[in-house]
Amino acid sequence: MKQYKQCGLDKQLPLTGHSALTVDTILPAIGDAALGIVTVASYSAPLETREYSEFVRDYDAAYETWPSRYSECGWCAAALIGTALETLKGGLSDRSRVRDDLKNALPKIKLPRGPMQFDAYRQAINPIYITRTEKSPERLVNVVIDQFPAVSQEATWEWRNKSAHASQNS
């Protein structure tokens, strides 16, 4: 990103990508070269929810840095598994019960990223945030500028399948 800015490409071609490009934990190393870059992800440390604020505050206090998307995903997975294990009382031999209890545990936990559900293929369905790197008084941050609603892959496939079917019939 630094070379991208040094070459003046930022004035000719906007840089966009996945949130790994400007993950919160590497922004200090990137510095001002990250300003204005737009990314997408299911995570951004400055999300404005009570659960997120508490998660970021506690993480920052413990590790003296903001959590990355990896930290948040790990926390979510651990909370989900822990909640399901409490219900299962250690009984992991029935795979379908484990699967069902994992799914049923999801509404019981307050995830930092907000509500989430699983689709029929056990993929996470949650909003996707569009962020832009900006400078706050304390640090560089990936500010949420918009979001895509939570959309399942089945809904995406349904659209794609209809589109493919329509072009075959024309």
* pLDDT tens-digit profile, the chain (170 residues): 888 888 988 888 888 888 888 988 888 999 999 999 999 988 777 777 788 889 989 998 999 888 888 888 899 999 999 999 998 887 888 888 888 888 888 888 888 887 788 887 778 888 888 999 999 888 898 888 998 877 777 776 775 666 555 556 55
Q: Is 94 exposed, middle or buried (0-12, 13-18, 19+ CB in 10 A)?
A: exposed
Closest to 42 in 3D by CA, of 72, 17, 77: 72
Which residues does residue 140 pair with via DSSP β-bridges, in sequence order?
A: 135
Q: What confidence score (pLDDT) does residue 163 get?
A: 59
Q: 50-63 and 69-88 are packed helices; what angle lies between their axes, rounded to 10 degrees?
A: 110
User: Rounded CA gap, 67 and 63, in Å?
Assistant: 9
Q: Which alpha helices (DSSP H) does the chain contain, by range?
A: 2-6, 27-30, 50-63, 69-88, 95-105, 153-168
H/E run at residue 38: strand 38-41
User: Rounded CA gap, 18 and 143, in Å?
Assistant: 14
Domains of the chain: 2-168 (3.40.50)
Measured in residues, the chain has a length of 170
Q: Which residues make Cβ contacts (< 8 Å) with residue 97, sequence separation at least 6? A: 88, 91
H/E run at residue 138: none
